[in-house]
């Protein structure tokens, strides 16, 4: 269905970053308000879909030269761009109305507004600027973690924010590497002219090591794990980093991180293992 494809619900999986603070907040004695959290998650998903619809309108000509994105409903002329903009605006209005019902809605609305504003900037001009495009993608995930903390009314840990943003930058580098391999630098995204396969390969390798070190340090020094279980969640994280790097750099994967996650059961299993080992390692009050 074109209208469902316009909303890209499969990309809501990125909003799992909103859940990252939950177990650590519970370990600190914070009890999540389930209704508020669920409402906030739904509202953020609607904002995400509004951004995707707007982005598809702005990007319709470029998408038509992309081997996969040319099938998006606006690029394929299945949906009128004006209708898509109306849908986008409606989703934004509904999402902010939902957020007005959340306890402590001020900070939640502010973060959601910042996310929306940065995405508009990214769609209109930010993604054409090298380095800036990567930083903006990282900021989107950074704001998701902050948003989760705001829904929990919890003070975010600097280590959690830094580590989560490190993972986000790694995903952004992988996405740009995939686009480079598709040779879309001329017609699809001008910022790709500033990147090279060699440079991105080095950046990905460095980022993998950096994320591994940050997570190791977080588990060992900061996270509220049982003393003898602090390392339990390390193996799935290290295995996931290695596999992601292998598929991007060795196998030449050209899919986006979201598409890779849906395609490879091994990555899904590693995430499930990480969730399980984390929950069984944390020392809840």
Contact at 8 Å (CB) between 135 and 125?
A: no
Helices (H), the chain: 2-7, 21-27, 34-58, 60-63, 81-99, 105-124, 132-152, 158-181, 197-217, 234-245, 257-263, 265-281
* Digit-coded pLDDT (tens) for 255-281: 888 999 999 999 999 999 999 999 999
* Digit-coded pLDDT (tens) for 12-68: 999 999 999 998 888 888 888 899 999 999 999 999 999 999 999 998 888 787 777
Opening angle at CA 234, ends 150 and 227, nearest 5: 80
pLDDT of residue 87: 97
Question: 143: left (phi > 0), else alpha (psi -120 to 50), else beta?
Answer: alpha
With CA atoms as reference, report the closest residue to 19 among 187, 129, 147: 147
The residue behind tokens 């399980």 is 276
Q: Please, which pLDDT band fits residue 184 given cuts at 50, 70 and 90?
A: low
Q: Please, which pLDDT band fits residue 83 given cuts at 50, 70 and 90?
A: very high
Interatomic CA distance for residues 98 and 182, integer angstroms: 40
Interatomic CA distance for residues 105 and 55, integer angstroms: 27
Q: Comparing 39-43, 64-68, 165-169, 208-212, which segment has the lowest mean pLDDT? A: 64-68
With CA atoms as reference, report the closest residue to 45 among 107, 102, 99: 99
**Cα separation values, 198 from 44, 111, 226, 245, Å:** 36, 36, 42, 14
**What is the DSSP code string of 205-216?**
HHHHHHHHHHHH
Domains parsed from the chain with CATH numbers: 2-223 (1.10.600.10)
Interatomic CA distance for residues 134 and 207, integer angstroms: 13
The residue behind tokens 């591994």 is 212
With CA atoms as reference, report the closest residue to 223 among 209, 237, 202: 237
pLDDT of residue 156: 84
Interatomic CA distance for residues 166 and 203, integer angstroms: 12
What is the percent of the chain where pLDDT is above 70? 98
Average pLDDT along the chain: 90
> Helices 105-124 and 81-99 sit at what angle, rounded to 10 degrees?
160
DSSP 64: T
- Its pTM stands at 0.91
């Amino acid at each position: 269905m074109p209208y469902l494809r316009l909303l890209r619900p499969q990309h809501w999986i990125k909003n799992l970053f909103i859940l990252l603070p939950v177990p650590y907040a519970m370990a600190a004695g914070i009890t999540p308000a389930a209704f508020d959290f669920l409402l906030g998650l739904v509202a953020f998903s609607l904002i995400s879909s509004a951004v995707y619809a707007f982005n598809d309108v702005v990007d319709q000509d470029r998408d038509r030269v992309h081997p996969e994105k040319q099938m998006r409903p606006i690029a394929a002329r299945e949906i009128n761009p004006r209708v898509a903009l109306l849908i986008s605006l409606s989703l934004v209005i509904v999402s902010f109305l939902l957020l007005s019902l959340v306890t402590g809605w001020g900070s939640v609305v502010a973060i959601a507004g910042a996310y929306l504003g940065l995405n508009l900037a990214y769609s209109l001009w930010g993604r054409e600027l090298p380095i800036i495009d990567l930083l903006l993608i990282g900021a989107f995930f950074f704001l998701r973690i902050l948003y989760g903390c705001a829904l929990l009314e919890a003070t975010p840990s600097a280590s959690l924010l830094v580590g989560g943003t490190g993972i986000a930058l790694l995903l952004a580098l992988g996405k740009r590497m995939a686009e480079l391999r598709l040779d879309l630098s001329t017609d699809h995204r001008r910022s790709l002219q500033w990147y090279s396969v060699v440079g991105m390969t080095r950046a990905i390798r460095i980022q993998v090591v950096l994320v591994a070190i940050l997570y190791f340090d977080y588990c060992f020094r900061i996270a509220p794990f049982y003393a003898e279980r602090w390392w339990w969640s390390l193996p799935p994280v290290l295995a996931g980093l290695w596999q992601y790097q292998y598929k991007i750099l060795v196998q030449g994967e050209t899919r986006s991180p979201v598409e890779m996650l849906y395609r490879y059961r091994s990555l899904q299993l590693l995430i499930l293992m990480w969730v399980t080992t984390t929950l069984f390692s944390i020392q809840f009050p």
